[in-house]
Structure 1
Amino acid sequence: MDQIDKKIVQELQLNAKISMKELAEVVHLSSPALIERVRKLEEQKVIEGYHAHVDLKKMDRPICAIILFESKDCKALADFCNSHSDVLECYRVAGEISYIVKIATYSVESLEKFIDASMAYGTPSTNIVLSSHAKKVIEPFSVED
């Protein structure tokens, strides 16, 4: 990726709804040249998709939790998590903990139901999220000489 590609990716992360004409102006390219670069970034899977970021509270999911699992059957836990509507993200990890799950749900009672149902797959340790911050723009890794 050259500097122009990096700028394209940065701008699209800030505003995925930007028109190709506007983006071309920002990165100082013609519209056809920009469209070709975006197409190549998509083909190379640098850009995996375009998404709407939603407010979980307005989606009636005000309770967010990170649940750590010690599991002997990670496949079954993964299947359970992937099919559960409250699960936002799940990670298989190395170490004492084998799985980390992020959920967003509508009440403490629904969180308790999730925990109870998940106990068949491992031992959970639940952490309720009080506040969070996520990076909006991910920059490519570069080695400084």
Structure 2
Amino acid sequence: MDKINWKLLRALEQNARLSYAELGKLVHLSAPAVAERIRKLEEQGVITGYSAQINLEKVAIPITALVECEVYRTQERAFKELVLSLDEVIDCYNVTGPSAFVLKVAVTSMSKLDALLERLIDMSDTKTMMILSHPVRRAMPLNCEMEEL
């Protein structure tokens, strides 16, 4: 990773729809040179995909929450299978500490959240935190080393 690749990653994180020409202007390279760098970053698995960021409130899904799940002994495999089947789960993190998993869920109503938590209760103790806002949204830290690796 050199400084140019770091600049390309930052620019794509902010706006993945930038053209190769626009990216080239940012890093002082031709569009074909940028395309080649991005192709290599994709092949190396550095760039894993491109997606739209959806405002859930605008699509009538106003409630997001984090659910800490302290999974009961011997229930982890079944818990993972359940979580994979739940459409409301938009992120699942396996973490250290007493809560083995933290889920990010999105629902249309409090009753839907309650129903979701009822499905989890047979396999885990849960603690739920409502998400009020999302002031920082980025895929990588700003203070990444921009040196060649």
Q: TM-score, normalised by structure 1?
A: 0.92
5 Å-filtered alignment, 1:27-38, equals 27-38=27-38
- Verify the 8 A CA contact 1:74 1:99 in the aligned structure 2: no
- Whether the 8 Å CA contact 1:87–1:103 is kept in 2: the answer is yes
What secondary structure, in the 3-state scheme, does the structure 1 residue paired with 2:112 have? helix
3-state SS, counterpart of residue 94 of structure 1: coil
Number of corresponding residues: 144
Question: What's 1:42 paired with?
Answer: 42
Structure 1 unaligned residues grouped into runs of 5+: none
Instruction: Specify the alignment match of 1:6 in structure 2.
Output: 6
Aligned match of 1:58: 58
- SS of the equivalent of 2:144 reads coil
Cα gap change, 1:141/1:29 in structure 2, threshold over 3 Å: closer, same or farther? Answer: same
Q: 1:142 aligns with which of 125, 137, 145?
A: 145
Residue 88 of structure 1, aligned match among 87, 90, 93: 90
CA contact (8 A) 1:6 1:140 kept: no
Q: CA deviation at 1:134?
A: 2.9
Correspondent of 2:105 among 103, 118, 138: 103
Counterpart of 1:77, as a letter, is: F
Structure 2 length-normalised TM:
0.89
- SS of equivalent to 1:58: helix
**Gap regions ≥5 residues in structure 2:** none
* Distance of 1:75 and 1:93 partners within structure 2: 15
